[in-house]
Chain A
Amino acid sequence: MADLGAVTVEPAATPAPRLRRARLGRALAPYGLLLPAAAVIGGVLGYPLYLMVKLSFERYGLFQLIQHKGQWIGLGNYRQLVHDHEFWTVLLRTLLFTGVTVGLTMALGTLIALLMTRVSAAMRLLLTLALVLAWAMPVPVAANIWYWMVDYEFGVANWLLTTLHVGNYQHHDWFVNPWQGWGVITTLIVWGAIPFVAITLYAGLSQVPQELLQAAAIDGARPWRVFKDITLPILKPIFVILTSLSIIWDFQVFTQVWLLRDERPTSDYFLTGIYAFEQTFSQSEYGYGSAVAISMVLILLGVTFFYIRQMIRIGEV
């Protein structure tokens, strides 16, 4: 025993130079492996982030863009932001829009995932196919499809609603009334977002132990209670992650609105991301646009915090 102990201890006490070098190499290896990624992330993400913060404290218009130098105005942009009525309207609209789209996406996605566990294998395959195809549509493509479907003259939506006697929708322009326009945009975004949620939740549902569900059913629990007391707690981590991601994505929606409004949305169709874009690229107020963008980042930071905490909790980190 003592011999054996001596044998194992000895190399550690006076390690051979080769071994020491190997150990040092192993200790440094992860840093070396991380270096390229760190350099790229620092360069292409870190520096722009820093620049965005700096721009938000500067007057930076076309003149400054050509000069490559901003003019420091301290909190000027933020002071303007606080008193900008349009910004507050846009922000409120964005929050409402995010709430509605995320709520609908999560509710419908969950229902479809539950439905998938109850239908026949053939129907499940069809549903998966439809979900994957809808998911696979690039956002600009999806926006163009929906624009065509709600075309005021030859759109299939107007024909369908008229044929079903919902009302007379011939030559109906969906974007004259912003509420209807937002309805179309919300439908498009929810349609595009459901597949990810439904497929992920379906995968999660198949991890729920069947014995638990059966035991509950034998005990006479109603389906809603089974869902609320067994399925939901098990799926909670996935729910938190999906909801945070959906909030982060829907809060910064841009492309769908931009394309459905012919690349020149009226102020009724502004979301925070579009407002920042308009201020920056139409008004050439890069500094003020950055201040709006920073406010977006700060609002999303709270959601990101929840997301990362959940990732740490489930041991992903």
Chain B
Amino acid sequence: MTARRATRVVYEVLGAVVFCVMIFPVYWMVSTALKPGNDILRYHPKLVPHPATLANFTDAIHRPYFWDDVRNSLIVTCVVVVASVTIAFFAALALAKFRFYGKKAAIVIIIAVQMVPLNALIIPLYVLLSRAHQVDKLSGLIVTYLTFVLPFCVWTLRGFLLGVPKELEEAAMVDGSTRIGAFVRILLPLVAPGLVATSVFAFIQAWNEFLLAYVVLRSPSHQTLTVWLASFTTLHGTDWGGLMAGATLTALPVAVFFMIVQRRIAFGLTAGAVRG
């Protein structure tokens, strides 16, 4: 019995260690962002940001191009999310709810194109954008983002649509609804959480993207937030406080969205369990 309790304690201690290691970098970002400059540049770092200040955040917000780049990130992300989720929803509907010739091939293609390394595609994409005079323009970036967000959305939405029991739709149709009616009144509400989750995942992917934005967008006022972060490093060194504040601001929407989707995933899993 005591041996069992001892293993219990060992597991709890291990859990605490893993917790500390995994969360420390995130903690260190926020904690550095909250420290005044002379507390950041210390040989004996303070583990707790005391006294705390918001000066780094005000600095970051008032930095040149911050609001331009927030706007750019939002425009790119929102257009990409709306376009991909809409287009993907139709495709997912076909792949989840219909039988047709060539379906398996279509699904394999959707998976396969997700595997194409983006880093390799960047070369032809850049050449194409330069031909179409779309370098340094948001429109060019938006189109290139569709390459990886759209296939992903199709795949995820298909999964959610498959989760809707066929019996429910059929029951609605027996009750005299048309296929469209069944779709609007039964399928859409049931798949709404899936649509939200997919949109959030798509948002995160587009918001986080760095490489394409870095290559395509050259002028500081046209960049996105992930590229803007580089502006804290100059020849004179790095403004760590400002950079960590900027990083916190960049990561904040993603962290919030991750928390939301977490719950959706849990919801989806429990729903699946009930159905099984």
Q: Are A141 and B103 closer than 8 Å at their CB atoms?
A: no
Q: Which of B26, B91, B100, B126 contacts A133 (CB 8 A)?
A: B26
Q: Is A127 in the interface zone, CB < 8 Å from B? A: yes
15 pairs from A and B in contact (CB 8 Å cutoff): A33-B98, A37-B150, A44-B150, A45-B116, A48-B124, A55-B127, A65-B130, A133-B23, A140-B208, A140-B227, A148-B28, A148-B244, A159-B43, A170-B43, A312-B108
Q: Is A227 in the interface zone, CB < 8 Å from B? A: no
Bound Cα distance A124, B266 (Å): 15
Residues of B within 8 A of A281 (CB): 126, 215
Residue of B28, B98, B117, B259 with highest tally of chain A CB at under 10 A:
B117
Instruction: Please report which residues of chain A, range 139-169, place their CB below 8 angstroms from some CB of chain B when the two chains form the complex.
Output: 139-142, 144-146, 148-149, 151, 153-154, 156, 159
Q: Are A126 and B130 closer than 8 Å at their CB atoms?
A: no
Q: Are B247 and A30 closer than 8 Å at their CB atoms?
A: no
Q: Which residue of B lies closest to A29 (CB)?
A: B98
Bound Cα distance A159, B227 (Å): 30
Q: Which of A34, A127, A142, A203 contacts B269 (CB 8 A)?
A: A203
Top 8 nearest A-B pairs (CB, nearest first) are: A293-B120, A37-B91, A30-B94, A138-B208, A33-B94, A30-B98, A51-B124, A130-B23
Given A33-B93, A52-B121, A248-B115, CB of A135 within 8 Å of CB of B226: no
Name A's B-contacting residues (CB within 8 A): 26-27, 29-31, 33-34, 36-38, 40-41, 44-45, 47-49, 51-52, 55, 60, 65, 68, 112, 115-116, 118-120, 123-124, 126-142, 144-146, 148-149, 151, 153-154, 156, 159, 170, 191, 194-195, 203, 248, 251-252, 254-255, 259, 262-263, 273, 276-277, 280-281, 286, 289-290, 293-294, 296-297, 300, 303-304, 307-308, 311-312, 317
Q: What's the A-B contact tally at a CB cutoff of 8 Å? A: 249
A293 to chain B, nearest CB (A): 4
Given A68-B131, A255-B210, CB of A115 within 8 Å of CB of B91: no
Bound Cα distance A48, B18 (Å): 43
Q: Is B6 in the interface zone, CB < 8 Å from A? A: no
Q: Are B91 and A33 closer than 8 Å at their CB atoms?
A: yes
Given A30-B100, A112-B18, A294-B120, CB of A141 within 8 Å of CB of B251: yes
Total number of B residues with any Cβ neighbor in A under 8 Å: 87
Q: Which residue of A lies closest to B17 (CB)?
A: A115
Instruction: Please report which residues of chain B, range 105-139, place their CB below 8 angstroms from some CB of chain A when the two chains form the complex.
Output: 106-109, 111-113, 115-128, 130-131
Q: Are B87 and A132 closer than 8 Å at their CB atoms?
A: no
Q: Are B233 and A154 closer than 8 Å at their CB atoms?
A: no
Q: Is B221 in the interface zone, CB < 8 Å from A? A: no
Given A37-B87, A49-B124, A141-B247, CB of A136 within 8 Å of CB of B18: no
A199 to chain B, nearest CB (A): 9
